[in-house]
Amino acid sequence: MTDVIEIDEDGIEQVSLKTYAEKAYLDYSMYVILDRALPHVGDGLKPVQRRIVYAMSELGLKATAKFKKSARTVGDVIGKFHPHGDSAAYEAMVLMAQNFSYRYPLVDGQGNWGSPDDPKSFAAMRYTESRLTAYADVLLSELGQGTVDWSPNFDGTMDEPTVLPAQVPNVLLNGTTGIAVGMATDVPPHNLREVVAATIHLLESPKATVAELCEHVQAPDFPTDAEIITPREDIMAMYETGRGALKMRAVWEKEGPDIVVSALPHQVSGSKVLEQIAHQMQAKKLPMVADLRDESDHENPTRLVIVPRSNRVEVEAVMNHLFATTDLERSYRVNLNMIGIDGRPGVKGLDRILKEWLKFRTETVRRRLEYRLERVLRRLHILDGYLVAFLNIDEVIHIIRTEDKPKPALMKRFGISDVQAEAILDLKLRNLAKLEEMKIRGEQDELEVERDQLQTILGSAARLKTLIKKELQSVAEKFGDDRRSPLMARGEAQAFSELDLMTADPITVVMSEKGWIRAAKGHDIDPSSLSYKSGDGFKMAAKGRSNQPTVILDSTGRAYTVPSHNLPSARGQGEPVTGRINPPSGATFEGLMMGDEGDLYLLASDAGYGFVAKLGELQTKNKAGKGALNLPKGSGVMQPAAISEAEGAWVAAVTNEGRLLVFPLEDLPQMARGKGNKIIGIPTARVQSREEFVIAVQVLTDKDTLVVYAGKRHHKLKFSDLKHYCGERGRRGNKLPRGFQKVDAMLVES
């Protein structure tokens, strides 16, 4: 930056605001990344966490010590190592103490340290007490053994460890989240046994692939019994790249009629879930749930009871909806971003994390062994000096008593080193006189054995690997446990559609002559008695349920679908159906159908052609409808006839001249659209001139009665009476008795 600094006439350095701001922001960014937000691959801790753990160990707060007020501990941390606020340090400490946040907590706490339901509900630090857990020992036990690089604290008055000598890959075990400038980290927690098994596999096979490592580390392992439902291939890809996402789903079971949720996803609040479900119930978006209860206690930390409205409710479908719309299913972002052993941040795959950690661990163990070897060699050297002193004890005592400078005299007389002479002089005379050859030689023998072992291990890469492997296994044996979060393959959660949430109430859809539509509750109403606008009147009606769509057939043969549940009430006069659909200009509405998708209807033109169609095939989302019935020239559309039972059913068709034909329904084809086959024979020219056409078409069984209406008179024909009118499909049919040949309508009575 020297090239941008200018010195003015008064000798004051000047720098441009742009340069100053850029440098300040860059410095701050790098500080946040390297010294605040990201964990280190070696010990898996952020600086504040490392300082807390180290400070607590310095205070002697081991797992066997008495608890100490957290305020005093935090005060010690911020006074000696962490130049930030006490509340931030305490929050970091709380996180390490919560067994629902950390898979293997580092801090053991007494008092209120928050609950899974509300992690931030912990008491103030003056009320809580803390000490380290036994697990914290895997980070601290090798501290005083030459394994650590030390750096000055914030004010330079003392040293603090740059990275703790972790005995396991702690960065994966407890996981962490953090936001730095321009980057973030989200490391999920893992199972100790699984991670150690993968690390040992990599130690033995350095070229192991991620797929091989994933045989040991199958997925993260959260401190909850909820299921991980992410597909295995997605988890593999996550470990490959270091980025991805995980889905967790609550565990539930049916107890009698009730649904009981016994485990929630990681960091999901039970009260929040109940609130979400209650909100849906209030908004009438969950009519199949009658009640909610929270029965959680000390024995059952999570027990949420959902009471269905009746036994007929499909609980699987309800839970599937709740998984899609509440926190009973939660996604977690994964971003394995951490500071590597080179001191640089980076997103790393599973293989790279474990390789870097093994490199770190190998170096740590090597330093520990070298430190110990140095201590052993120094002691052996001193013991050699003690032996010389023992063999010449009187002369040594004489030199010490008489000489002004005994050290050089001893070195010259016995040929011993400075260190040996210093060690002899450090002993009190009475202790010097008490030296025993047996003790000295016994200690020498023990240390020589240890020296040889240390030198053998340090001189052999294979032995060093074996030692690391054994140490990893012993930690896994001591602190390892079974997997908590089971891996389950589940289908994607699907929220209820608006239609699914509709109640299946019986309704009658009514259409007026002018095309006004409405829905009346129930099936026992008389549509013709409803009020109609002036000049308008009843035309047709269809019975069904509110969750079934209404299919309308227009005079051009096009079919339209409108939802039935939101049709206007029959208390009013309805609304024009053209507001919901777009029929061709001049088209009128001639048919109305309701029912299940599999229901059959007979579609026919008054030219005497028709076919059988499934209601589901006539439905469409298109406002302009879809072509269903092709009309011969000069013909019109007839009201479709419902087919209650296709097997053994008969078709009855009657013309305006009183010709009636009855034939088996099976003679007509089942189609999705088209003109259909001939039902009754009418000459084409007569249809086109409108001299003769079909008045009505009905479908009946041999138990039904056919009623023919002519003016004010009606004629009932039982099936036995219809033998005279039975014939082949497409025939002209036989004439009805005199007085009934000018047919107005034809209905079926069961």
Which residues are identified as catalytic? 127
Residue 407 has which token pair?
């050290």
Could you tell me if 482 and 223 are in contact, meaning their C-beta atoms sit under 8 angstroms apart?
Answer: no
Helix 406-414 crosses helix 418-426 at what angle (to 10 degrees)? 120
Rounded to an integer, what distance in angstroms lies between the CA atom of residue 353 and that of residue 210? 11
Sheet holding 705-710, edge to edge: 713-718, 705-710, 745-749
Write out the two tokens for 365: 């163990």
Short-list 69, 76, 345, CA closest to 184: 345
Integer-rounded Cα radius of gyration of the chain: 45
* CA 319 to mean position of chain CA atoms: 14
d(C-alpha 564, C-alpha 569), whole Å: 11
Residue type, 409: A
Q: Do β-strands 650-655 and 694-700 pair in parallel, antiparallel, or remain unpaired?
A: antiparallel
> In three state form, how does the secondary structure of 58-126 look?
HCCCCCCCCCEEHHHHHHHHHHHCCCCCHHHHHHHHHHHHCCCCCCCCCEEEECCCCCCCCCCCCCCCC
Please tell me whether residue 363 adopts helix, strand or coil conformation. Answer: helix
Structure tokens belonging to residue 364: 């740590």
Q: In whole angstroms, what is the distance from residue 623 CA to residue 558 CA?
A: 11
Listed residue (602, 578, 599) closest to 591, CA to CA: 602
Structural element, H or E, at residue 161: strand 159-161
Report how far apart, in Å, the C-alpha atoms of 376 and of each of 107, 369, 372, 700 are.
35, 10, 6, 107
The percent helix, strand, coil of the chain (3-state, each to 5) is: 35, 25, 40
- What span, in angstroms and rounded, lies between the C-alpha atoms of 227 and 743? 69
Q: Angle at the Cα of 478 (from 474 to 480), degrees rounded to 5?
A: 100
Take residue 234 and report the two structure tokens written for it.
């997605």
Cβ burial of 633 (10 Å; 0-12, 13-18, 19+) is exposed
Q: Which of 316, 327, 362, 336 is nearest to 220 (CA)?
A: 336
For the purposes of burial, counting CB atoms within 10 Å of the CB of 464, is it exposed (0-12), middle (13-18) or buried (19 or more)? middle
- Closest alpha carbon to 435 in 495, 500, 389, 384: 389
User: How many Cβ atoms from other residues are within 10 Å of residue 211's Cβ?
Assistant: 11
Asked whether the beta carbons of 167 and 142 are under 8 A apart, the reply is yes
In the structure encoding, which two tokens stand for residue 304, read together?
Answer: 């949420």
Where b means 16+ CB within 10 Å and e means fewer, 403-428 reads eeebbebbeeebebeeebbebbeeee
Buried b (16+ CB within 10 A) or exposed e, 138-152: bbbebeeebbbeeee
Residue corresponding to tokens 């994607």: 492
Q: How many CB atoms lie within 10 A of CB 212?
A: 14
The C-alpha atoms of residue 548 and residue 510 are separated, in whole angstroms, by 15
Backbone angles phi, psi at 192, to 5 degrees: -60, -50
